[in-house]
């Protein structure tokens, strides 16, 4: 029983990481590109680094939303199938 709960927790964390990874990588790449641009032009404006990252993350979220929803639906179905195994 404990092993099932631990496996469920690990699976939940893996799914959270998998779903957040595209947005985190997009923000990382955008931040790196903006930092290089700021370093080469010596422009130190805070909104220059903040606004593009928000836009990139929002666009990636919109693009990957169908995939993320399918992953969440599959995980939820799997959870409902596992309920009968967790009966006390």
- In tens, the pLDDT along 19-75 reads 999 999 999 999 999 999 988 988 888 778 889 999 999 999 999 999 999 999 999
Task: Please check the confidence at residue 85 and state whether its pLDDT lies above 80.
Answer: no
What pTM did the predictor assign? 0.80
Task: Please check the confidence at residue 14 and state whether its pLDDT lies above 70.
Answer: yes
Structurally, how many domains does the chain consist of?
1
Extract long-range pairs of 70-79: CB within 8 Å, 24+ residues apart. 71/15, 71/18, 71/19, 72/15, 72/19, 75/11, 75/12, 75/15, 79/8
């Amino acid at each position: 029983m404990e092993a099932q709960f631990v496996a469920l927790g690990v699976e939940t964390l893996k799914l959270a990481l998998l779903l957040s990874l595209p947005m985190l990588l997009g923000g990382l790449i955008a931040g790196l590109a903006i930092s290089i641009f700021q370093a080469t032009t010596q422009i130190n404006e805070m909104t220059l680094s903040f606004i593009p990252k928000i836009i990139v993350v929002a666009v990636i979220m919109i693009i990957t939303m169908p995939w993320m929803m399918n992953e969440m639906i599959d995980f939820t179905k799997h959870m409902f199938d596992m309920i009968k195994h967790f009966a006390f």
